[in-house]
Amino acid sequence: MSKEQDILATKAFFEGWKFYQTIIRLNYMFHAEIIEHETALLSSLSRERLSVLELGCGDSFAISQVAKSISIDRYRGIDITSLALKYAQKNLERVIPNVELVEGDMFQEGTFHSEISDAGVLGYTAHHLETKAKISLFSRVRKQLRADGILIVYDLITDEGESPEDFLERSIQHFETSWDAFDRDQLASIRDHVSTKDHPESWEGWKSIAEESGYSRSALRFRDPQHIFGIMAFWSRP
Ligand SMILES: C[S@@+](CC[C@H](N)C(=O)[O-])C[C@H]1O[C@@H](n2cnc3c(N)ncnc32)[C@H](O)[C@@H]1O
């Protein structure tokens, strides 16, 4: 599949945004924990006027909840899925004063801009990329961050030594047995998306991607009980 076809397939999958809202509402992918850790990590920056850049922001639900308890002054969200961005616009109304939502591929030059942010967020989006492309994305985000800024990544994390194939099969089996809000067709579409699009990394893998991209400190803040998902933080400064 070419890169353009790949983008179109991802876009088509997420255009049915309702299913992802169900995932968030039922905490299937631990958005409650994401909100808790994102709040703590952004608070730790102790900035009066906090600015955040989010790639693959979807409907910006997590950051909209974070912004209810800490003050975020500026937010730029980038996503290829127009319907998700419509929800993002609504979620962010009255919680962040300066919001810019960009419909576009996060790899295209134009979707980034010269403004430097305090924090970057990359949630459940980087696993679509092969390791080399993850390094190039992490590096690009680092250049958009203040020297003492932070990159928050929540994503798929394999156990050490587990192959991506075994991890994906184990994950899909968990979704099929536990995500009971979905019918057979929806689960089949999740299986198809996960098995063809996802490139998970171990915690050591994510750490070395960050190191190669110029980050010098890493922390694994959370892992779910099934060892599928995790919340990580990376800093440029030691
Ligand atoms: C699983 S959702 C995650 C949404 C949100 N970050 C969250 O954590 O709830 C993945 C998002 O990444 C977006 N996405 C995938 N590839 C992208 C790309 N190349 N550029 C911009 N957005 C992309 C999808 O449209 C989708 O909204």
CB-facing half-sphere around the CA of 12: CA atoms within 13 A: 10
pLDDT band, residue 11 (cuts 50/70/90):
low
Backbone angles phi, psi at 6, to 5 degrees: -60, -45
Answer CATH for 3-235 from 3.40.50.150, 1.10.287.130, 3.30.390.30, 3.20.20.80: 3.40.50.150
pLDDT for position 175: 96
Does ligand 1 have an atom closer than 6 angstroms to the CB of 124? Answer: yes
Q: What is the mean pLDDT of residues 128-153?
A: 95
Q: What is the mean pLDDT of residues 146-161?
A: 96
Residue owning the nearest CA to atom 21 of ligand 1: 79
pLDDT band, residue 161 (cuts 50/70/90):
very high
Domain ranges of the chain: 3-235
pLDDT band, residue 162 (cuts 50/70/90):
very high
Place of tokens 């996503």: 79
pLDDT for position 205: 98
Higher pLDDT, 156 or 9: 156
Q: Give pTM, 2 decimals.
A: 0.94
pLDDT band, residue 21 (cuts 50/70/90):
very high
Q: What is the mean pLDDT of residues 13-25?
A: 83
Does ligand 1 have an atom closer than 6 angstroms to the CB of 60? Answer: no
Does ligand 1 have an atom closer than 6 angstroms to the CB of 79? Answer: yes
pLDDT for position 189: 87
Higher pLDDT, 38 or 6: 38
Query: Ligand 1 center to residue 62 CA distance, Å?
Result: 13
**What digits encode the pLDDT tens for the residues 214-236?**
999 999 999 999 999 999 999 98
Mean pLDDT taken over the chain: 92
Give a three-class secondary structure readout of the chain.
CCHHHHHHHHHHHHHCCHHHHHHHHCCCCCHHHHHHHHHHHHHCCCCCCEEEEEECCCCCHHHHHHCCCCCEEEEEEEECCHHHHHHHHHHHCCCCCEEEEEECCCCCHHHCCCCCEEEEEEECCHHHCCHHHHHHHHHHHHHCEEEEEEEEEEEEEECCCCCHHHHHHHHHHHHHHHCCCCCHHHHHHHHHHHHHHCCCEEHHHHHHHHHHCCCCEEEEEEECCCCCEEEEEEECCC
Place of tokens 């250049």: 143
Query: Ligand 1 center to residue 198 CA distance, Å?
Result: 12
